[in-house]
Amino acid sequence: MSNLKPWQHISSRYLHEEKWFKFRADQVRKGNGETMEPYYVLEYSNWVNVLPVTTDGKVILVRQYRYALGTFSLELPGGIMDAHETNPLEAARRELLEETGYSCTEIIQTGIVATNPATQNNRLFCYLATGCTPTHNISLDENEELEVLLVTVDELLQLLRNNEIIQSLHVSSIFYGLQALGKI
């Protein structure tokens, strides 16, 4: 049996608040009774990612420029849950439709991962969407610029092997989705 104890929150001081995140400094009591200050926490909304598969078995990816890393990134459709959204499945359907124009006949949750539990408070909900067909025009947020790509499952696996998909949360979602499909 473990002797580890959870840390206890004593107080918080917000250092910065934006639409997409909040940054705070906490005072905490560690499991061993010692006080630690500051302990920095980034508060984000929960996120969703979707591994979408078309009716003919193609995987839908998006390619977009990621400024912080300074490179184009191959990713899954997905994003932040809007403030009014409480159901990650509905957020996943919305993100799939907005970013790709595709709707699905079936969508299932394949996993939940912590984005970075050392400093972030949010989770990523992973989904597999099947029976995807184009039904709408793409409807991007004001700061989104992306292109939609269709690849086979074999091509997707090769992209992973070649480290051409490097966003860790998307890699996790892909593996959960491929596992649900029985492909790995």
Domain 47-181: CATH class, spelled out: alpha beta
Q: Residue 161 has what pLDDT?
A: 97
Q: Residue 128 has what pLDDT?
A: 98
What pLDDT digit, counting tens, does each position of 100-110 carry?
999 999 999 99
Q: Where are the alpha helices (DSSP H) in the chain?
A: 88-100, 153-161, 168-181
Share of the chain above pLDDT 70, in %: 100
Q: Residue 170 has what pLDDT?
A: 97
Mean pLDDT confidence for 98-120: 97
What pLDDT digit, counting tens, does each position of 73-88 carry?
999 999 999 989 999 9
Mean pLDDT confidence for 158-184: 96
Burial class of residue 81 (count of CB atoms within 10 Å of its CB; 0-12, 13-18, 19+): buried
CB neighbour list of residue 129: distance below 8 Å, 6 or more residues apart: 50, 51, 52, 53, 92, 93, 96, 102, 104, 106, 107
Q: Residue 148 has what pLDDT?
A: 97
Please give the structure tokens belonging to residue 71.
């490179």
What's the pTM value of the predicted model, to 2 decimals? 0.94
Q: Which of 66, 47, 65, 64 is nearest to 100 (CA)?
A: 64
User: Domain spans of the chain?
Assistant: 8-44, 47-181
DSSP 8-state secondary structure symbol assigned to residue 75: E
Least confident interval from 42-46, 117-121, 138-142, 160-164:
138-142
